[in-house]
Structure 1
Amino acid sequence: MKKFKAGLFGLGVVGSGVYTALKQNEKYGISIEKIAVKNINKQRDFDLPNGILTTESDEILNNEGLDFIIELINDPEEAFGIVKKAFEKGKSVVSANKKMVALYHQELFELSEKHGVKFFYEGAVCGSIPILRLLDQHFKSDTVKSLKAIANGTCNFILSKMVSENQDYDSALKDAQDLGFAELDPYSDVSGEDTRFKLAIMIYHAFGIFVHPNKIPLQGINFLDENLVQFAQKHQLKIKLIGEAHNINDKIKAKVEPQLVSEKQNFYNIENEYNGILVDAEFTAEQFVKGKGAGSFPTALAVLSNLKDLKYNLAISKSSVKKEIEYSNEAEKEIYFLAGFNDEIPEIEILDREDAYYIVNSDIYHLEKIKKKHPNLYWVKISQDIYEKINAVLNNLKLR
């Protein structure tokens, strides 16, 4: 059987996992011939053959003896340049760069088709959960109505520690950094940006339209404080950062924001670095999957799965662009826990108010406008059924 050869860009957490797995398991039948890194002299936890590292990307891209390119760097602009040139050289690519894919999604597809190569990126979304494969294959004969996802292990870890172990935000973030779940600069994770990149990618595979991530409104977890934690604990709820998209009359509405969830919901028991995805489709109804969404080997597994697709020349069924579906910048009014400032809230329906927070009826776009004037404001979505139970408790307390 032919031994396939690949060039690897990036030897960080995921790149190290991919290299180690291929080195230790001959069953994959793929060898890494050259690895492009920024610093050849960096101390690493495993041995590498002499001469395998390079700082010159062209040393890999111009190598006609390589069958595939594996792109696992962080910088989305640099990654796009590498992938584009690989396509031009007739090389198929496997990537795990969610920011690059989300920002250049349609252009990457058009370039891969133009040059007759394949482009796979299962590792870009939710680590070990094969959600893109499920959406492309399992749900291809169905009609997806909505999807909701806990798609960032860093945020989920922090929220788990805050609610279940009474840690404050800074302490929980430090633990996540010490364990390697969060970067030294955690902005992309805690701001909700990372979840938004992944949601934008999933929207194409679920609904057949390309949506730029900047069109999706978001609220992160970096402003949450003890007021919300105490509120959640008081009502036996948990806080989860959830990205969601709904197809309503062929218009896709999407957002990323923290939500309060009850023990009856699938997301309630998704803790620490785990991810969870709920897909609701016309024929199959609701299906829920969970798995590790971060770390070296969970994400490396997704990359290896795509390498196997290339090795056996498998064509993953891709969604076709659906002209009749469009993205909507409208939002439904929903119930929110609102806190973080003491001023009166203009033009908003207040359902209840305590010293430290409001419960309001609004939509995410209006809340985003208010936040521009009140940067410390934060909100958390409350579903109708949870609000009804909370409201009953609050009313009972007021009657005493």
Structure 2
Amino acid sequence: MKNFKAGLFGLGVVGSGVYTALQQNQKYGISIEKIAVKNIDKERDFDLPTGILTAQSDEILENEDIDFIIELINDPEEAFTIVKKAFEKGKSVVSANKKMVALHHQELLELREKYGVKFFYEGAVCGSVPILRLLDQHYKSDKIKSVKAIANGTCNFILSKMTAENQDYDSALKEAQDLGFAELDPYSDVSGEDTRFKLAIMVYHAFGIFVHPQEIPLEGIDYLDETLVQFAQKHQLKIKLIGEACNIGGKINAKVEPQLVNEKQDFYNIENEYNGILVNAEFTAEQFVKGKGAGSFPTALAVLSNLKDLIYDLAIAKYSIKPNITYSTEIEREIYFIGGFETELSGLEILAKDETYCLAKSDFKELEKLKQKHPNLYWVKISQDIYEIIKNQEVLI
């Protein structure tokens, strides 16, 4: 088998995992010729060959001996510049940068077609779970009705600690940071933004349309408090941050929000840094996959898998947009647990209330307007089935 030469951008958590795996396993037939980093003099936990590091991206991009690029940096705009130039130089790319892909998805695929290169980014969505591969290949002859996902290991870890171990949000977040599951600045994770990037990518692979992340309504977990945790524990429920996209009559609805789930649901047993994806399709009905979504080697595994796709010249689906499918910002009213408010809420269809929370029918637009008046307000979706069980368990005011 031919030996391939690659240029690596980024030597952080994932980049280190990819480099280490390639060094330890010769079966890939890939040698890293150069690694572009911001700080060449930074101390690292492993030895590197002399001269392999560079601070100049063109040392890689202009090198005709390098066969392809592995892009694993954090900055989405810098990453886009690197990938675009790599395409222009005729180099295929493997990336794990979900923000870059989500923000520039359509343009990236158009550039891929224009320059006749390949572009794989399985590592951008759900770590070790090959969901993009499944959507592209397994479901290509089926009609997908919905995709629902726990797609952020940091949030899931925090929520697991809050409900299972009675930790408050701050201590659960600190533990996630200490274990390397959360960044020092956790905003993208806990706000739900990270899940939204991944959901936007999945929408194209599931339904064949592009949705900009900003079009997807968003509610994170950073406002959740002990009132919700106590309510969930009382009714044997768990709190999960779920991104979902549904095809309703050719119109795609998508959103990211916390939800309460019970033991009958697949998401109930997805704990800590694990991710889980539920796909509902016309012929195959519901299928559920799970796997680690955070950490060095789970994401590195997805990158390595894509590298083998390049080596074996795996065919990829042509860029296309499906006709007769559109994105809709109209979202149906649903049942929500609402907390974090101090005064009476108006304009909602109240189903039940207590001193510190209420159950009500609403939609995102109504709740977002209320949050402008009540900055600490938060909401968590409750399915109709769970609401019926709660009604039968206690007398609701």
What SS does the aligned partner of 2:244 have?
strand
Q: Could you say which residue in structure 1 is the equivalent of 2:233?
A: 233
Q: Could you say which residue in structure 1 is the equivalent of 2:87?
A: 87
* Alpha-carbon shift at residue 370 of structure 1 (Å): 1.6
AA of the residue aligned to 2:266: N
What SS does the aligned partner of 2:170 have?
helix
TM-score normalised according to structure 1 size: 0.98
What SS does the aligned partner of 2:32 have?
strand
Q: Could you say which residue in structure 2 is the equivalent of 1:162?
A: 162
In 2, Cα distance between equivalents of 1:58 and 1:319:
28
AA of the residue aligned to 2:242: I
In 1, Cα distance between equivalents of 2:370 and 2:249:
29
In 2, Cα distance between equivalents of 1:376 and 1:159:
18
* Alpha-carbon shift at residue 353 of structure 1 (Å): 0.5
Is 2:73 aligned against 1:73? yes
**Equivalent runs, 1:314-325 vs 2, <5 Å:** 314-317=314-317, 320-325=320-325
In 2, Cα distance between equivalents of 1:155 and 1:237:
17
Cα shift readout 1:186-206 (whole Å, capped 9, x = no counterpart): 000000000000000000000
AA of the residue aligned to 2:40: I
* Alpha-carbon shift at residue 306 of structure 1 (Å): 0.6
AA of the residue aligned to 1:251: K
Contact 1:208 1:319 in 2 (8 A): no
Unmatched runs of 5 consecutive residues or more in structure 1: none
What SS does the aligned partner of 2:205 have?
helix
* Alpha-carbon shift at residue 140 of structure 1 (Å): 0.2
AA of the residue aligned to 2:54: T
Q: Could you say which residue in structure 1 is the equivalent of 2:361?
A: 361
Q: Could you say which residue in structure 1 is the equivalent of 2:146?
A: 146
In 2, Cα distance between equivalents of 1:193 and 1:227:
24
Contact 1:146 1:245 in 2 (8 A): yes
Is 2:165 aligned against 1:202? no
AA of the residue aligned to 2:372: K
In 1, Cα distance between equivalents of 2:315 and 2:286:
27
* Alpha-carbon shift at residue 319 of structure 1 (Å): 6.4
Contact 1:353 1:359 in 2 (8 A): yes
**Equivalent runs, 1:306-321 vs 2, <5 Å:** 306-317=306-317, 320-321=320-321
* Alpha-carbon shift at residue 320 of structure 1 (Å): 3.0
Is 2:299 aligned against 1:299? yes
In 1, Cα distance between equivalents of 2:107 and 2:142:
27
What SS does the aligned partner of 2:253 have?
strand
Q: Could you say which residue in structure 2 is the equivalent of 1:190?
A: 190
Q: Could you say which residue in structure 2 is the equivalent of 1:18?
A: 18
In 1, Cα distance between equivalents of 2:62 and 2:39:
21
Unmatched runs of 5 consecutive residues or more in structure 2: none
In 2, Cα distance between equivalents of 1:138 and 1:343:
50
Q: Could you say which residue in structure 2 is the equivalent of 1:340?
A: 340
Is 2:117 aligned against 1:107? no
Cα shift readout 1:79-104 (whole Å, capped 9, x = no counterpart): 00000000111100000000000000
TM-score normalised according to structure 2 size: 0.99
What SS does the aligned partner of 1:11 have?
coil
Q: Could you say which residue in structure 2 is the equivalent of 1:173?
A: 173
**Equivalent runs, 1:223-262 vs 2, <5 Å:** 223-262=223-262
What SS does the aligned partner of 2:394 have?
helix
AA of the residue aligned to 1:279: V
In 2, Cα distance between equivalents of 1:268 and 1:131:
19
What SS does the aligned partner of 1:380 have?
strand
Equivalent residue pairs, number: 397
User: What is the root-mean-square deviation in Å for CA atoms of aligned residues?
Assistant: 0.9
* Alpha-carbon shift at residue 369 of structure 1 (Å): 1.9
Q: Could you say which residue in structure 2 is the equivalent of 1:59?
A: 59
* Alpha-carbon shift at residue 346 of structure 1 (Å): 2.1
What SS does the aligned partner of 2:221 have?
coil
* Alpha-carbon shift at residue 323 of structure 1 (Å): 2.2
AA of the residue aligned to 1:47: D
AA of the residue aligned to 1:146: S
In 2, Cα distance between equivalents of 1:77 and 1:263:
42
* Alpha-carbon shift at residue 341 of structure 1 (Å): 1.2
Q: Could you say which residue in structure 1 is the equivalent of 2:96?
A: 96
Cα shift readout 1:8-41 (whole Å, capped 9, x = no counterpart): 0000000000000000000000010000000111
In 2, Cα distance between equivalents of 1:314 and 1:339:
49
In 2, Cα distance between equivalents of 1:319 and 1:203:
14
Contact 2:338 2:359 in 1 (8 A): yes
In 2, Cα distance between equivalents of 1:11 and 1:229:
38
Contact 2:110 2:319 in 1 (8 A): no
In 2, Cα distance between equivalents of 1:161 and 1:307:
35
In 1, Cα distance between equivalents of 2:391 and 2:382:
11
* Alpha-carbon shift at residue 368 of structure 1 (Å): 1.5
What SS does the aligned partner of 1:104 have?
helix
* Alpha-carbon shift at residue 317 of structure 1 (Å): 3.0
In 1, Cα distance between equivalents of 2:13 and 2:342:
43
